């Protein structure tokens, strides 16, 4: 499965606005690129991305063929409590990959 | 020669001398390719959490530890921790290889190790694994000064590289030097012409949507001037790489870099 770089500050103060950055390794093949024999490379993209904070849905995105390879997400959450951020993304074959990161609130 | 003609000839020689002096970039004027990028792209390279080339470096770290080939050895079995053993290696390549009596670049070195030590098949040029390993090894030299070796056996090869650098080629009949020594800082279309210092390879190029080696970039320029590009791994490329390393002596390694 794809490699991903998740960047979450390990320790934050309660009420802080925290920036979360996720970089996912994925070719994001559009389906419009011709092969040497004139056919097309089959489409292979990530369709959706979502993040939950202790089970609560805090961010989600729909992705389309125009999104670059190795998509990068950056968004903010308000640090309310120590908990787990769960990131999940789904590709064209409906396979979902999940990665988690802990956030500690002082 | 009458005196007037002699003065004219001297003036011509002086003018040619001035042209030659302008052709080489002064030490204080040298700028990495990243200095010509937008602030956003610079930030993407600086931030390891946003730099897509770091994904390749992470793949490379996994490959470094993976046993492969008939010898069932990993890179780490011989070289140990890359963080110490590979520090500064990418900064000094290409280097002289005794066995072939010729210089080899870092990717050539990786493939030699695979063949001789791991008894594995060499990795294809521009393959994901070769780029990942060279990104990971290059990362260990990040921030260090480019330090090509002072090996006298490299001199004839480096001289050939220097000659290739100023050799006009292709239907457009341009040499590397005409853009990158004489006209850096100007624009080709909307793209700024950088000084062509090879201090961040392998790079993640946004235009490619992926990683690429210095040889891919050189081939890119060659097809740009409508020349027949040398094949991957050609001796000419290693010679050009030697000249480029000498040209960038002392400049900080940025591997793995991001370029537009």
At A11 the pLDDT is 87
Please give the torsion angle defined by the CA atoms of residues A51, A57, A62 and A68, in that order, rounded to the nearest 10 degrees.
-20
Same domain, B174 and B125: no
Taking CA atoms, what residue in A is nearest to B207?
Answer: A68
Domain of A68 in residue numbering reads as 4-30+41-105
If one counts the domains in chain B, the total is 2
Q: Which residues 36-65 of chain B have a CB within 8 Å of chain A?
A: 47-52, 54-55, 58-59
User: What percentage of chain A carries pLDDT values higher than 70?
Assistant: 99
At A2 the pLDDT is 74
Same domain, B179 and B205: yes
A1 has a chain B CB within 8 A of its CB: no
- b/e code B208-225 from CB counts within 10 Å (16+ = b): eebbbbbbbbbbebbeeb
Per-residue pLDDT of chain B (260 residues), as tens digits, is 455 555 555 444 444 444 444 468 888 899 999 999 999 999 999 999 999 999 999 999 999 999 999 999 999 999 999 999 999 999 999 999 999 999 999 999 999 999 999 999 999 999 999 999 999 999 999 999 999 999 999 999 999 999 999 999 999 999 999 999 999 999 999 999 999 999 999 999 999 999 999 999 999 999 999 999 999 999 999 999 999 999 999 999 999 999 99
Taking CA atoms, what residue in B is nearest to A1?
Answer: B59
Partner residue facing A23 (CB), from B55, B206, B209: B55
Same domain, B162 and B39: yes
* Residue A38 tokens, joined: 């004139």
* Size (chain B), residues: 260
At B10 the pLDDT is 47
Pairwise CB contact (< 8 Å): A70 & B206: no
A61 has a chain B CB within 8 A of its CB: no
Same domain, B42 and B58: no
Chain A nearest-CA distance from B137, in A, is 19
CA-to-CA separations, B226 to B152, B168, B169, B194, B212, in angstroms, rounded: 34, 11, 8, 20, 20
At A84 the pLDDT is 94
User: In the predicted model, what is the mean pLDDT of residues A34-59?
Assistant: 95
In a domain, A55, yes or no: yes
Q: Residue B79: is it exposed, middle or buried by C-beta count within 10 angstroms (0-12/13-18/19+)?
A: middle
Identify the CATH number of the domain in which residue B209 sits.
1.10.760.10
Same domain, B186 and B242: yes
Pairwise CB contact (< 8 Å): B59 & A3: yes
* Residue A44 tokens, joined: 């292979």
* Size (chain A), residues: 106
Q: Residue B41: is it exposed, middle or buried by C-beta count within 10 angstroms (0-12/13-18/19+)?
A: middle
Query: Cβ contacts (< 8 Å) between B52 and chain A: which residues?
Result: 23, 25, 69-70, 72
- E strand or H helix at B241: helix B235-247
pTM of the model: 0.88
Query: Cβ contacts (< 8 Å) between A3 and chain B: which residues?
Result: 55, 58-59
Partner residue facing A69 (CB), from B51, B58, B209: B209
At A10 the pLDDT is 82
CA-to-CA separations, B139 to A23, A45, A101, B258, in angstroms, rounded: 18, 29, 25, 13
Active site residue B179: no
Partner residue facing B210 (CB), from A23, A69, A72: A69
Say whether B246 sits in a helix, a strand or coil: helix
Select from B115, B139, B163 the last residue of a domain: B139
How far apart CA A65 and CA A28 sit, in angstroms, is: 7
Domain of B87 in residue numbering reads as 53-139
Pairwise CB contact (< 8 Å): B50 & A68: no
Select from B97, B119, B139 the last residue of a domain: B139
Query: Cβ contacts (< 8 Å) between B51 and chain A: which residues?
Result: 23
């Amino acid at each position: 499965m794809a490699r991903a770089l998740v960047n979450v500050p390990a320790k934050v103060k309660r009420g802080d606005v925290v920036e979360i950055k996720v970089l996912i390794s994925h070719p994001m093949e559009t389906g419009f690129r011709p092969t040497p024999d004139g056919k097309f490379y089959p489409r292979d993209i990530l369709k959706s991305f979502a993040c939950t904070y202790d089970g609560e849905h805090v961010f989600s995105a729909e992705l389309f063929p125009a999104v670059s390879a190795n998509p990068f997400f950056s968004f903010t959450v308000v640090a309310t409590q120590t908990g787990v951020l769960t990131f999940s993304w789904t590709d064209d074959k409906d396979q979902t990959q999940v990665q988690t990161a802990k956030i500690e609130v002082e | 020669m009458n005196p007037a003609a002699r003065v004219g000839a001297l003036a011509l020689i002086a003018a040619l001398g001035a042209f030659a002096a302008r052709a080489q970039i002064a030490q204080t004027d040298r700028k990495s390719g990243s200095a010509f990028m937008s602030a956003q792209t610079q930030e993407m390279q600086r931030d390891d959490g946003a730099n897509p080339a770091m994904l390749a470096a992470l793949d490379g770290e996994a490959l470094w530890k993976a046993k492969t080939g008939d010898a069932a050895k990993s890179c780490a079995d011989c070289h140990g921790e890359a963080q110490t053993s590979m520090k500064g290696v990418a900064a000094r390549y290409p280097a002289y290889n005794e066995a072939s009596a010729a210089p080899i670049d870092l990717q050539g070195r990786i493939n030699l190790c695979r063949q001789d030590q791991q008894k594995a098949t060499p990795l294809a040029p521009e393959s994901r694994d070769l780029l990942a390993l060279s990104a990971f090894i290059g990362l260990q030299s990040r921030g260090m000064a480019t330090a090509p070796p002072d090996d006298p056996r490299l001199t004839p090869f480096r001289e050939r590289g220097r000659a290739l650098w100023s050799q006009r080629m292709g239907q457009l009949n341009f040499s590397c030097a005409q853009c990158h020594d004489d006209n850096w800082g100007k624009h080709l279309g909307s793209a700024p012409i950088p000084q062509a210092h090879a201090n961040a390879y392998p790079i993640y190029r946004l235009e490619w949507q992926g990683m690429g080696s210095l040889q891919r970039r050189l081939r890119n320029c060659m097809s740009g001037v409508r020349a027949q590009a040398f094949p991957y791994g050609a001796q000419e490329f290693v010679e050009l790489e030697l000249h480029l390393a000498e040209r960038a002596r002392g400049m900080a390694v940025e591997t793995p870099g991001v370029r537009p």
